[in-house]
Every structure is written in structure tokens, then in C-alpha cells.
Amino acid sequence: MPRPAIAPPESTVNTACPLDCPDGCSLTVHLRGGRITRIDGGTDNPVTHGYICAKVRRFADRIYGDDRVLHPAIRNGAKGRGRFRRATWEEALDLIARRFRETADAHGAEAILPFCYGGSNGMLTQDFMDAVLFRRLGTSRLLRSVCAAPTGAANMGLYGKMASVVYQDYPDARLILVWGVNPGVSGIHLMPYLKDARDRGATIVVIDPRATSIARQADLYLPVRPGTDVVVALAIHRHLFEGGFADQAFLDAHTTGASALRERAQPWTFERAAAVSGVDADLIRRVADLYARTSPALVKCGWGLERNRNGGSAAAAVLALPAVGGKFGVRGGGYTMSNSASWQLTRPWLKDQEPATRVVNMNHLGRVLTGETDTPVRALFVYNCNPAVTMPDQARVLAGLEREDLFTVVFDQVLTDTALYADVLLPATTFFEHYDYSKAYGPMSLQLGRPVIEPVGESRSNNDVFAELLRRLDLARDDDPADDLDAMLASLAGMPEQIGNELRETWRATPPYDGRPIQFVDVFPLTGDGKVHLCPSHLDEEAPEGLYAFRAEPGTADYPLALISPASDRTISSTLGELSRPAIVLEINPQDALARNIEDGDEVTVFNSQGEVKLKARVTALVRPGTVSTPKGVWRRHTSSGWTSNVLVPDSLSDLGAGACFNDARVNVKKG
Ligand SMILES: Nc1nc2c(c(=O)[nH]1)N[C@H]1C(S)=C(S)[C@@H](COP(=O)(O)OP(=O)(O)OC[C@H]3O[C@@H](n4cnc5c(=O)[nH]c(N)nc54)[C@H](O)[C@@H]3O)O[C@H]1N2
Ligand SMILES: Nc1nc2c(c(=O)[nH]1)N[C@H]1C(S)=C(S)[C@@H](COP(=O)(O)OP(=O)(O)OC[C@H]3O[C@@H](n4cnc5c(=O)[nH]c(N)nc54)[C@H](O)[C@@H]3O)O[C@H]1N2
Ligand code: SF4
Ligand SMILES: [Mo]
């Protein structure tokens, strides 16, 4: 049953954006004849107040666009060709249930792999009825490590994911290190606060291989070689310890592991760090000295620095700075990492225990689908994810998806590159057509989003569909939510009482500490003993060469350039990638271009032993020598060869969190 739209057809309605972006905007949606005519920034969220990104402004083009999946479909042609015949929901769901049952009977349910990541990132569209289904079925489990795994492991290990400094407190800082993050693109509502901080006299330092918009406005810019942040941070630690700037009283009272960190920082003089990172020793010295002497000092740690073999240690070393430097305890001092855990919400509605089935690292999708594993994957259910273009080692991922003996379900809103490989394709609603939570991970904000239009075509929400599958597989129980509305109500009932009540009444919850917690005044580490663990033994054991170790370049002489693929202003990961866009470019430094006889605008081939991608060269000094850059989230149709940067990305893992090493791709570039 399609759910009736809750908004009158001619109206202006408020909702919230749940997409995987730190900001959590409130939205105002204009409707005419029951269709969305305009999407603007809403005023409910005081931080994102009034404006939104250009991506979500264009979201109606996605909702009503040609690529929207409008009804269930069953493959009717060779794998990967995207040829389908229309099917009813009954037929499609019956087929999935039958194939799942047959697979489980013949090979065990571990032969089924659910594959999902953030999707639209809400709490209702992931780890709800989907998790109920897959837990009860006893399928393989997925390690969701494509993003935020190394930074998450570091933040958890050192601080137990203590709540972070929020955007509103940036103007109180006197010094801000913007480290491996590009807020001008990936969290735009931080930018006015950074400007405000600067106007009030704060010094801004940016550490990034590319001169991003914030780097160009910064007082100091460190064009670091990808994957080398750990040594830059350790050189700052060394200066703090050796220069007598370490806050010994704080270290004694609130930390463990300071001497281990000091020992590991010891070898990293400014000169050695400079030789490895490619950043001038004097620049590192200036930053270290500024950090030592300035308060309030703030470190904004992003995700760009984690996507390599040293990413976990880099994040740990960066996050350890305020503890060693004694920067906590004042507004505008401390660190910002993800605030996703700061509401401390659990998911009490998930009553089923996770089964002890095998865990598959999502970064290894290609090798798991193509290689020899104890229990080969025979059925794959992809939702909230577009692995054909977002996972490492694209060639193997696509080879796996092409397997004739693999039964693949893809449940998505649009005909993604992954959907082309589906045996059964299911149409999903967007967050304008179902309920979902918008939980920001930059500011502290929690809003409930609501359907503002009827589901387009025959699309259905995740909870509706997974509840249907539970029934078809005889796994449903009487107290399960029956559909999306039920699931939403169950989630509200499972929230802490005040939050649940507020969301029910105003669609928005009041964050603790007025949404502006001060670290070590209002919030403290959520580690077992309440201390900062500067060198926790479990991380030290997990990292192949120990925590804070620098592991050298993966490259060979044939592939001297580091390829990075950061967020762009066109897509959220690959979401919205179906919309038209200018040609995809490879940014290359003039020095590297000249050596290869490449001019601005040339067609170039970026290649390594895994594959090649054809792109247009943009010769620009904004990217450091030795590094080339192309946006993440590109679709196959946007390159002439049909391959995207992920064909060049190895499926090796980061030192902590078994995360993806997108920025460890080493390549060469040639004209043509
Ligand atoms: N517009 C838009 N917004 C987004 C997204 C999007 O796709 N588009 N994606 C969302 C998601 S899923 C995430 S995880 C976040 C990510 O947001 P960010 O934290 O900004 O992460 P990235 O864009 O991966 O990289 C950030 C910066 O790190 C730099 N970088 C790359 N390698 C290194 C390195 O080794 N060291 C250092 N210091 N810097 C490096 C890149 O040049 C880039 O400028 O953004 C979210 N917001
Ligand atoms: N080269 C390179 N690749 C990268 C990165 C990089 O830095 N470089 N970054 C990585 C990062 S940070 C991330 S987070 C990953 C993200 O990679 P993915 O998890 O694949 O994320 P998206 O590309 O946004 O795809 C999400 C899909 O979910 C669908 N979806 C949204 N909402 C719903 C829903 O309610 N129901 C269903 N059924 N479907 C829904 C969307 O339509 C979309 O197709 O990409 C990674 N890929
Ligand atoms: S993607 Fe981010 S900036 Fe854009 S509307 Fe959503 S929360 Fe706001
Ligand atoms: Mo991400």
C-alpha cells in the first residue's frame, strides 16, 4: 500500500536532509499539485539556517528524473547490460524469498551477503528491518569499513568517541588546524564559522595535498604528501614534549600512554618529517610553535587523511594533539572529529542478537565475489550502496557482479551502475517519500524527516520491503513493525523519553549542553576509565607495525604519482551522479604535466597495473607535485573508457579499522 502523503498537494513543508554529510540541514519543500517544485534551506536547524548545498537543491531532478527506478524488474538479458522486464512486487519478492531459501538450504545462509553502506544515512533506512531480516536469516555479516573506519577506531580508542567541538564554537578559537578535510565542499556550513573565526583574529592552518578553498584563505598551508600526516603530527608532538610545552599536569591526571607517544614522536624532527611529507621543515616548525603557544586551539580532523595505509595512526596522532598540548577545557579548544555518537543513541528496537556468522570486509567485495572463500557468496542483496563505483578494485568488483551463478538483488532509487547488474531490481523511495532521521555529525542536531510526496512510481521504503521479506521467509514475529510508519513509531518509543517526545511534537530534539559541549568541562572521554588513551594496547596490536608507525610508499618506480579522489560539490559519494555534469577532470601539477608533455584540456590516460581511466587534464598548481586528483563518486558513463578511479585503487587496508586505502592508488599519466 503506498503511504498517503502527509503534505497537502499545494503547500510548503518542512523536513530534514539525512544524507551522508556532516551538516544535517533542515529543509523547506515547496509543492504544487503534489510534486516538489523547489527545495530550500529550512530554519529549524539554527546552524544550517536558511541555505543548503546545490546538490540537494537539484534533488527533484533525481526524484522525477529518467534514471529513477519506477517499478520492480527482473533481468532479461546478459548480466550487467541493464536489460529488464517489468515485474510486480509480488513476483519480485517471491523470487527473492525463493532464491534465498534455496541458497540457505543448499549452502547455508552465510552464502547470502547483504551489502549496504550509508545510503541516505538515516537511522530508519539502515539497521532496522533490514538487520532484523539478515540476523534472523543468519547471513554473512558485513564490516562497513569503506569510510570512517580508521578515524573511528582512533577516536574510539583514544577518547571513546567523546562529543566534538561544534561549528558554533569555532569563532572562539584563536588557532584552527584544518586537517585532511575540505569543508568548502564536504560540510559547507562550517565555512561561515571559519570566516568568523578569522575575522576575530584566529590563525587558520590547512594540511592537504590540494589547495582547497579553505587552504587558499588560510594563513599557513601545508601541502602534505598523501599518507604522511602521521609524521607531521608526530613532529608537532615532539616539539610539544621536547620544548616543554606538553601539559604535564593534564597528562598525569587525564591520560595514559603519554610516554609511549613521546617515544614514538622522538625520531621525528622537523627535518625528517619534512623529508617524508614533502612539507617545508620551517612550515612544520611554525605550525608546531603556534600550536604550542596558542589557546584556544582547535584541530578539525577530517576523513581525507584516513584513506591510506597510515590513516589510523595519522588520525590518532592528530587527535592526540589537544591532550598533549593541554588544549581542552575552554570553548573553542580541543578537537572535532565525527559527532555521530554524541547523542549516545542505541538501537533498542534491534532485539535480535547478531549471529556469529563470518564477517566480510566490504573493501574486499571484489576478491570475495571472485576468489576462493570458505563459503562462496551465491546471493548478494545490495541496498543503500553503489559498490560498482564506490568500492576499491573496481575491475574485480565488476567481474564478481558478472558471475552467472551469483543471484544479485539491487534495491535503489535510481538505475545505478550496480543496478545494471541486478537479477532483481527493486525501486526505493527517497527521503522525500519516507520517514528518516537526520542526525548531523558536525553540529549536534537530530531531526525527524517526513514523507512530503507520494512514493514515485511503485517505490517502497526499506522498512516496508524488508518487513515483506520477513513475512515471505516465515521469519516475521507479531511484535515486529509491520511497515515504515510502524518502524518510525517504534524508533520514537525506543528513544530516551525527552528526545522521543520532542521529536513527536516538533520533529526536532534539543541537544545536550545547548548543542555546544566544551570538552573536559561538559563532556569527557567515554573510555572505560574516563581517561584519554594515547597509546591503547589494542590499537597498538592492531596496527601492523604498531600505533604511530609510518609505513612507506606503496608505489613503484613505474607509478610515481599518488592519485587521490576526494569529495566533490556534484555528488554525495556517488549519489546524484546520474545528473548531468561537466567532463571529469584529473588535476595535475604543471611540473608533472610538463614532464609528460600534457597541456590543460588534453585527454589523458591515468594508469597502473590494475587498469586505466581516461580523463581530461586540468593543469593546476592547486594540487601538489607528485599528486593527482579526481573526484570520488563518478559514474561509469562519465568516463570514455567506462572505468572510474576505483579501478586504480588497491583493496589493501588501512592500519586501523581495516578501512579503504583510496588515496594509496599509485599511478602514472600519459597524454591521449
Ligand atoms: N559535497 C559533498 N559532501 C560530502 C561528500 C561528498 O561526496 N560530496 N561525502 C560525505 C562523506 S561520505 C564523507 S566521508 C565526508 C568526507 O569529507 P572530507 O573529510 O572533506 O574528506 P575527503 O573529501 O575525502 O578529503 C578531504 C581532503 O583531504 C585531502 N586529502 C587527501 N589525502 C590526504 C592525506 O593523506 N592527508 C591530508 N592531510 N589530506 C588529504 C583531500 O585533498 C581533500 O581536500 O564528506 C561528506 N560530505
Ligand atoms: N575513489 C574513491 N571512492 C570512494 C571514496 C573516496 O574517497 N574515493 N569515498 C568513499 C566514501 S567516504 C563513502 S562514504 C563511500 C560511499 O559509497 P556508497 O555507500 O556506495 O554511497 P553512495 O554512492 O552514496 O550510494 C548510496 C546509494 O544508496 C541509495 N539509497 C539512498 N537512500 C536509500 C534508501 O532509503 N533505500 C535504498 N534501498 N537505497 C537508498 C542511493 O540511491 C545510492 O545509490 O564511497 C567511498 N568511495
Ligand atoms: S547534503 Fe549536506 S549541505 Fe546539502 S542539504 Fe544535505 S545536509 Fe545540507
Ligand atoms: Mo564517507
User: What does 231-279 look like in DSSP terms, one character per residue?
Assistant: HHHHHHHHHHHHTT-S-HHHHHHHEE-HHHHHHHHTT--HHHHHHHH-S
The answer on pLDDT for 307 being more than 60 is yes
Residue 385 Cα to ligand 2 middle (Å): 5
21 C-beta closer than 6 A to ligand 3: yes
> Among residues 610, 587, 605, which one has the least CA distance to residue 666?
610
Mutate which of 55, 155, 164, 186 for ligand 1 pocket (most atoms within 8 A of beta carbon): 186
Q: What is the pLDDT of residues 331-381, one digit of tens each?
A: 999 999 999 888 989 898 888 889 999 999 999 999 999 987 888 999 999
pLDDT of residue 364: 97
Distance CA 512, CA 527 (A): 20
650 C-beta closer than 6 A to ligand 2: no
The answer on pLDDT for 4 being more than 80 is no
Distance CA 282, CA 251 (A): 28
Of the bound ligands, which one is closest to the alpha carbon of residue 576? 2
User: Which residue has its alpha carbon closest to ligand 2 atom 17?
Assistant: 390
- In the chain, the percentage of residues whose pLDDT exceeds 70 is 99
- φ, ψ dihedrals at 532, nearest 5°: -85, 125
pLDDT of residue 372: 74
Of the bound ligands, which one is closest to the alpha carbon of residue 569? 1
Residue 634 Cα to ligand 2 middle (Å): 11
pLDDT of residue 445: 95
Vertex 329 angle, CA 324 and 334, to 5°: 55
278 C-beta closer than 6 A to ligand 1: no
pLDDT of residue 1: 35
The answer on pLDDT for 2 being more than 50 is no
Q: What is the pLDDT of residues 554-578, one digit of tens each?
A: 767 899 999 999 999 999 999 999 9
DSSP-derived pairing of the beta strands 665-671 and 627-629: unpaired
pLDDT of residue 553: 83
- φ, ψ dihedrals at 264, nearest 5°: -75, -25
CA distances 483 to 228, 348, 467, 507, Å, are 48, 17, 6, 20
401 C-beta closer than 6 A to ligand 3: no
Distance CA 15, CA 48 (A): 13
pLDDT of residue 9: 85
Q: What is the pLDDT of residues 390-416, one digit of tens each?
A: 999 999 999 999 999 999 999 999 999
Calculate the average pLDDT of the chain: 96
Q: What is the pLDDT of residues 15-46, one digit of tens each?
A: 999 999 999 999 999 999 999 999 999 998 98
Residue 551 Cα to ligand 3 middle (Å): 36
24 C-beta closer than 6 A to ligand 3: yes
Distance CA 174, CA 238 (A): 22
Mutate which of 126, 179, 182, 568 for ligand 1 pocket (most atoms within 8 A of beta carbon): 182
pLDDT of residue 5: 56
- In the chain, the percentage of residues whose pLDDT exceeds 90 is 93
Residue 447 Cα to ligand 3 middle (Å): 13
DSSP-derived pairing of the beta strands 73-75 and 203-207: unpaired
Which element (helix H / strand E) includes 409?
A: strand 407-412
Q: Locate the ligand 1 atom nearest the alpha carbon of residue 227 and give its number.
A: 35
pLDDT of residue 7: 82
pLDDT range class, residue 3, cuts 50, 70, 90: low
Domains, the chain, ordered by start: 82-144+353-433+456-507 (3.40.50.740), 150-340+518-542 (3.40.228.10), 561-671 (2.40.40.20)
Do the Cβ atoms of 553 and 560 come closer than 8 Å? no
Cβ neighbours around 98 below 10 Å, total: 12
Q: What is the pLDDT of residues 417-428, one digit of tens each?
A: 999 999 999 999
**Cell numbers 540476523 correspond to what residue?**
135
Q: Amino acid letter at 669?
A: V
